[in-house]
Each structure stands twice: as C-alpha cells, then as structure tokens.
Amino acid sequence: MPRTAAFTSVVLRELLRQLEYAPDETHRRQMDAAEQLLDDIEPERLYPDDFIVYRITSYRIDRPDASTSVVGDALTRDLVNFIQQLSWDLSLDPEQPRGRAVGMDELARRLGVSRRTLQRCRKDGLVMHWVRREGGRRVLSCFPDALDRFLERHGERLVRASRMTRLSIEEQEALVRGAGELVDRDPGASLNEIAARLAAESGRGHETIRRLLRRNEERATTPLFSEHGPLRDRDIEMSIRARRRGVPARRIADHFGKSPDALHRAVFRHRRRRLAAIPIAWSSPGGGDELLLQEDAVRFGLPHPSCPGTSGAGEGTAIEPGLDLRALNLLHARAAQGLEVMSPSPTVVELDEVETDLRWATMLHLRLVLLAWGPVGRIIEERLQQPLEALPREARLLYRDLSLGVINDQIERSDPNEADELMPRIERRLDSVLDRRSIVPTPGRASVRSRDAGDDLELLYRSCIPWPHLVPGAQRLASLEAMNGSDADLVRRRYGLDGSAPSRLSSLAEAGGTTITAIERRLGPFTW
C-alpha cells in the first residue's frame, strides 16, 4: 500500500492493528461504520475513545483509567485515513449500490480543481476508497454519495479553488522579484515570512508562493535567503530552551528559516528519540492492575521532585507501598508499550500520553524513596554512631548518594506483588554495601537523628531518574508567578504540582471544553 498519513488518535491506529488478520466482512463492516460516524463529527467537539470504538465496532469498552478524547477536526482526518487503509485489502469493485466510484484524476477534471486540492480536501473529510480497475490495478477513487456529503459542508471551498488558475510564468517572475525587493528592505526575513507577505499582497496561497520561492532558491546561483538546512539536535534543544523561556514558537521557527509546523514536527521527532533512549524496567501487569490507576491512593498525596518540601502523603491519605509498586510498574508498562507502537513522526497526543505516564511514575517512585529514606538514614547513622549532619559535607553527600542508589536499585528490581519484601531487601542490600566499603563507627555527637528527607531532594532525585527533562525544575517553575491564575493552575495540573497525578493534554482539554491546541497556547513556555 502507498505511504499513508500517521494517525493523530491512538485508538484508531490500534483498531486498525487489531483488524490486520480479521476477515474481509469485519473490514467492510467497520469501514462503513467509520464513514457513518464521519457524518456526525463536529470539528471543535471532543470525542472520547470509548465513543469512537463503540461507533465503529458496536462494542463498549470498560476503560480503567480516564478515557482520552480526540478533537473532531483531527478525528475527521483519522477516519478518512482509517477508511482508506481498510479499503486497500478489500478488492472493492468500482460499481457499488451507492454508485460508481470516480478516480481522482477524473474527479479533479469534473470539479475543475487540481489533484493536490483534492488531496487537501481529504483532510477535511472527503472520503476515498481504493477500488480495483481492469487488470487488478488499485485506484484511489470517490463514490458519488461521499462527494455529495463533502460538498454539502465544503462546496464553497471547491468553488473558490476552481476559480484559481495556475501561476503564469509572468506571475512567477513578478513574485520572485517582489521577494527580492522585500528581502532588500528586510534582510533578516525568512522565506516563510516573505511568502506570507506576498500572499497577502497578491491574493495567492501562502503555500503556493512558499513552494515557488523554495524552487527558485534551489535553482538560483545567488539565493535570496540564508537557509539553515535540516534542524540538528543541537538546534532543536536550543529551540526547546528558548520556548521554555517564553520565546514564541513562530519567532524560533523564523530564526531557522522554517515554518512553525516544520519546527513542531522536528521537536516531536526529537522528543520521541529522547523517550526511546530511556531504559524503562517493567513486568507484565497482573490481572485487574489497570483498575489501580483509578484509586485515590495512587492519584493523590504524591510528592513532586521539584517541590522537596512535600511529604508524599495528603491529609487522610495512607501510603500503601504495594499499590505504589504495582501502579509504578503499570505506568512503566503502559509507557513502554506506547513507545513501541509510536509512529516515527509522532503526534502531540502520542508523545503526551507516554510523557505523562512517566511523570506520574516519577512521583510514585519518589514516594517510595521517601518512605525508605528515614530508615536507611538511621541504619547508616547507627553504623557510624553519629548523625550524618555531623559529617563533613563531602562525606555526607557520599552517604546520601549511596543510600539513594541502593533504594532506587531495589525499587526497580522489586516484584510488584511482593511489596512486603521491599524494605527488608533495601536494608540487607545497604548492610552489604556498607560492609563492602568497610564502614566502621566514627563516634561524634551522641544523639542519633534521621536525616531531613527534603534536604537538596530535588537535585538529589533528579540526578538519579532517567528522564529529568520531563519534570520541570524549581527554577523553571518560578516563571509561574508571571502567568495569570487560570493558566498557572493549568500548568500545576499538567505536571501534578498540587500533589495529584499529572494530567494529559487531552484530559485538560476535555475538562475545559476546548481543544488540545488551545490548551497548548495557554501553557505557553510549559508546552514543550
């Protein structure tokens, strides 16, 4: 099958994967159901995953965690893609009870538009199927009723497109000359900026002019623009740092001579590479473990590595190590599986689901660390026969790092179903490490006190987790004071700064009755 667009929604990609070995009858039934669903989609509404699954498969699913949602505009594109991919294996005859399918070239000729215009219309809901012509060749075609439904909603767009003509040689030369004049007046302007200005002046499409200028740059002996070339990891990391300092994405894109969309795609691919490099330890969750993520015990009263003063237990919340270990393993498993099926050019939804699970796992892990922190400190102090506070700073940091290394190692190695063994294993391992290092008593002050678990906790903990880039530090969080109250609250909910489980972008959008794009705009420097 020819290359297809990536899915925005994980649910449709997963449905398509499950249909890989299903009979043609099931393919046909779900393909038709998806087309019926498409008629009911409104661009700005949010549609939960379980609703989408039910409308396509007629099965209701019991989701153990909060269902994610897809905004209608993105769902429309995904449904068209879903229908098209299912039709590839069905050997559809062009003659159907619904009418005779018309190929793209013939359809473009009848409507008086270009083939490229029809390609863009598919993103807005123009349904097309692969049908078999004579000789067995598959041709992407449109059935008349699908075209009629699209024209009811977007007919004016095609009318406008049919009135447009191709750029003549004279128009192309005039636009290139105009670009040169604008560059002379504004030498720092990017190709994308100049294309936007020319589009406003000429009434031609921004993308049409951008492509024209790009072709001219490739042929020109003396290019008009100083192009940057493909973004390197160093460029992307600099872009992320700039965005986190409040620099608008458009300004960053202009700096590199890229469009904002191109910058976002490069950043998304970079984020995926960083996630793929993370070592995630997990085992197969037990039956019913998915329900754990609904439990208040693992959703609230969580410490945050950027807020070392938090204890990890909210009022009336009892810490249950067994639940924390199982929930931690489940989140690791979910993140690892999400990475496994993530497309090479991921969507913001795919990335956010994995990143949010890892942030939540970080907080559960930290709570287990804090639970063991006091007892481990007392073991070391009893071995030394003096409090750690009495030691020189270098020695104190050495024991602190040694303690955390033992705790982290045993948490990662623990069987989620044997939580009772966690503390005894930590203590045995610590004794073994201290014996191997020949730690002997060095009496000092007489009192023996446990250490302050919050002492330099952020720096200490962030140096030990494999994904510190996903957790904003205290310095970055200081910029919350400059945000308005509702936007700052959105940041707190996204990252779990209030002690609750971090929220996905889709959940924030659904709760606010808005779109993921609108939520990202409000998050501002906390978007990436």
In a domain, 224, yes or no: no
The answer to whether residue 162 scores a pLDDT higher than 80 is: no
Asked whether residue 350 is assigned to any structural domain, the reply reads: yes
Residue 104: name the closest of 124, 92, 119 by CA: 119
Give me the helices (H) in 142-232, please: 144-163, 169-185, 191-202, 206-219
| Same domain membership, residue 351 and residue 370 | yes
- pLDDT of 455 over the 60 cut: no
Instruction: Kindly state whether residues 15 and 125 are assigned to the same domain.
Output: yes
- If one counts the domains in the chain, the total is 4
Residues 404, 367 within the same domain: yes
**pLDDT (0 to 100) of residue 447:** 40
The better pLDDT of the pair 457, 261 is held by: 261
464 and 324 fall within a common domain: yes
Q: What is the pTM for the complete model shown?
A: 0.62
Enter the tokens of residue 421.
């063994």
Is 511 inside any structural domain? no
Q: Are residues 17 and 149 in the same domain?
A: yes
User: Worst-scoring range by mean pLDDT, 60-74, 167-181, 356-370, 444-458?
Assistant: 444-458
Say whether both 318 and 369 belong to one domain: yes
In a shared domain, residues 350 and 443: yes
Per-residue model confidence as pLDDT tens digits over 297-309:
999 999 888 776 5
- The mean pLDDT value for 106-123 works out to 84
DSSP 330: H
Residues 157 and 177 in one domain: no
SS3 499: coil
Asked if residue 376 and residue 359 are part of one domain, the reply reads: yes
Residue 463 falls within a domain, yes or no? yes
Rounded CA separation 450/378 (Å): 5
Amino acid identity at 7: F
Residue 163 predicted with pLDDT over 70 = no
| 362, 423, 504 from 413: Cα distances, Å | 16, 12, 28
Tokens of 87: 């039709």
The verdict on residue 1 lying in a domain is: no
Number of helices (H) and strands (E), helices first, in the chain? 23, 7
Q: Which of 452, 471, 490 is the last residue of a domain?
A: 471
Q: Judge if 72 and 149 occupy the same domain.
A: yes
Residue 520 forms part of a structural domain: no
Cα distance between residue 1 and residue 89, in whole Å: 9
Arithmetic mean of pLDDT over the chain = 85
Q: Which amino acid is at 498?
A: D
Q: Which domain holds residue 88?
A: 10-163
Nearest by Cα to 289 from 356, 340, 334, 341: 334
Encode pLDDT of 245-291 as tens digits: 999 999 999 888 788 888 999 999 999 999 988 888 888 876 666 78
The continuous run of DSSP H or E covering 165 comes out as none
For the cut 50, the answer to whether the pLDDT of residue 87 exceeds it is yes
Same domain as 366, residue 442: yes
Task: Return the pLDDT at 115.
Answer: 84
Yes or no: say if 8 and 347 are a contact pair by the CB < 8 Å rule. yes
Same-domain status, 137 and 203: no
pLDDT tens figures, 52-75: 999 999 887 665 444 577 888 889
Alpha-carbon gap, residue 526 to 478, rounded angstroms: 12
**Cα distances (angstroms) measured from residue 479 to each of 239, 305, 469, 482, 495:** 18, 17, 17, 6, 14
Extract the tokens encoding 141: 């075609």
* Cα–Cα nearest to 403, from 380, 428, 423: 380
Q: How confident is the model at residue 332 (pLDDT cuts 50, 70, 90)?
A: very high
How far is CA 99 from its chain centroid? 41
